[in-house]
Amino acid sequence: GLDSVDSGRGDQIQVTLIVPALAGEGGGGAGTPETMPAKGLTVEESGANVEEAVEKMRAMVGGVLDFSTLQYVAVGKNVHPDDLVSAMHTLHFTRFVPMTPLMFATEDKVSDLFGAESPSGRGFTDTLDAIQAQSRIGWGHIHYPQSWEIMALLVNKTGDMTLTVIDRTDQGDELQAVGAAVYDGPKYAGLIDPSDALILYSVAHRKYPGGTYPFVHEGRELLMRILGVRTSVKADRGAGGDDVPRLTVDMRANAALMDSGGYRLPLLNRRKLDELEQVAARDMEARLGRLLERLQGWNSDAMRLYHEVRVGVPEMAYEDFKEVYPRIKVDFNVSVLLVRTGLLR
């Protein structure tokens, strides 16, 4: 876990680790210290950089800290952009750290988040895995990018990063996904809700496994499970010599209607389903338009539009694109293929 600090000692970053118990339930399992709790040992230290903080940890635990099995990296909301970039460089250019840890963000202090208990008795990383698995049938969808993907964005500047936000519940003793954090480079920009995160991922990744999406028609709330999305993005030069590129986003979603909102739908009659396909598509187009306006206000290219701009307008550098990004125009075209598989109510 990564947090920025101002300790008055010159420390800039705080590193928090959960070191799992090796066996048993703690208290004497094979290879497990007598004092180590079942969920593992939480170690917290600060330093001028990650290397210094980890050096202090090694002195604290009196042994070797093995990073070769690092599973997750949690990014605190208050992490300074320079500290985040420095930490990512350290993680990816240290011999014994893999390039595949999954990343997420949190609005909580990382050390407090790590203290949350699972009512089922799961370990911390098992709970994160379960949240992602359950999200496929819940609201939105949870995505944990691998750390090398985030590092590639920061280095290659083909767009801005997005991280799922995991916070404690109001009771402070469980974990929950509350949406996604979007960034302007390595700088935190803002928070979007799960439904916005779902369609954002669908554009940013161009191909996405989907999730669950709500929409409203004739005063009724309906629910569809998006089974898969394919998105293409095309960038052209602005008309009349304008330096602002024009983009077109075409998205095709295959989905299953899970909640009819009370409509009585005969199994063999597609008339209402055809109508709902158009309604769902227009709803997603409108949501994408509103989401783009928010991202432009934050100057965050979380949709990774520059990835195509550098192809369609090769002379435009990333820095130039970010200057005109708040003024770019994007046409969103969404088509939905909807089937009926049953109702939840």
Q: What is the mean pLDDT of residues 62-82?
A: 84
| 102 vs 266 pLDDT, higher one | 102
How high is the pLDDT of residue 192? Answer: 94
- Rounded distance, CA 231 to CA 239, Å? 24
Residue 161: C-alpha distances to residues 34, 91, 247, 335 (Å)? 41, 17, 20, 26
How high is the pLDDT of residue 25? Answer: 44
Q: What is the mean pLDDT of residues 147-173?
A: 87
Q: What is the mean pLDDT of residues 135-159?
A: 81
pLDDT tops 50 at residue 31? no
Strands 72-76 and 41-47 turn out to be unpaired
pLDDT tops 80 at residue 137? no
pLDDT tops 90 at residue 97? no
Q: Where are the alpha helices (DSSP H) in the chain?
A: 50-61, 81-92, 110-114, 124-135, 147-156, 194-204, 271-298, 306-312, 318-324
DSSP string covering 321-334: HHHHGGG-EEEEEE
Spatial contact of 233 and 203, defined as CB atoms under 8 Å apart: yes
Q: Per mean pLDDT, which of 118-127, 130-139, 140-149, 310-319 is the most reliable?
A: 310-319
Spatial contact of 221 and 276, defined as CB atoms under 8 Å apart: no
How high is the pLDDT of residue 37? Answer: 46
Q: Which two tokens stand for residue 14?
A: 């705080």
How high is the pLDDT of residue 195? Answer: 85
pLDDT tops 50 at residue 230? yes
Q: Closest by alpha carbon to 334, among 257, 249, 255, 214?
A: 249
| 228 vs 335 pLDDT, higher one | 335
Q: What is the mean pLDDT of residues 119-134?
A: 77
Strands 207-208 and 220-236 turn out to be antiparallel
| 248 vs 134 pLDDT, higher one | 248
The whole-model pTM stands at 0.85
Provide the pLDDT confidence category of residue 33 given band limits of 50, 70 and 90.
Answer: very low
pLDDT tops 80 at residue 121? no
| 68 vs 39 pLDDT, higher one | 68
Quote helix, strand, coil % in the chain, to nearest 5: 30, 30, 40
Spatial contact of 259 and 137, defined as CB atoms under 8 Å apart: no
DSSP 116: P
Q: What is the mean pLDDT of residues 72-79?
A: 90
- Rounded distance, CA 29 to CA 34, Å? 8
In sequence order, the 6+-apart residues with CB closer than 8 A to the CB of 156 are: none
Residue-averaged pLDDT of the chain: 82
Q: Residue 218 is which amino acid?
A: E
- Rounded distance, CA 136 to CA 305, Å? 26
| 22 vs 51 pLDDT, higher one | 51
Q: What is the mean pLDDT of residues 32-47?
A: 65
Q: What is the pLDDT of residues 242-295, one digit of tens each?
A: 678 899 999 999 998 876 656 665 544 678 788 889 999 999 999 999 999 999
3-state secondary structure of 95: coil
Q: Give the 3-state DSSP-derived string for 140-194, with helices as H, strands as E and coil as C.
A: ECCCCCEHHHHHHHHHHCCCCCEEEEEEECCCCCCEEEEEEEEEECCEEEEEECH
pLDDT tops 80 at residue 332? yes
Half-sphere exposure of 207 (CA within 13 A, CB side): 0
User: What is the per-residue burial (b if ≥16 Cβ within 10 Å, else e) of 221-231?
Assistant: ebbbbbbebeb
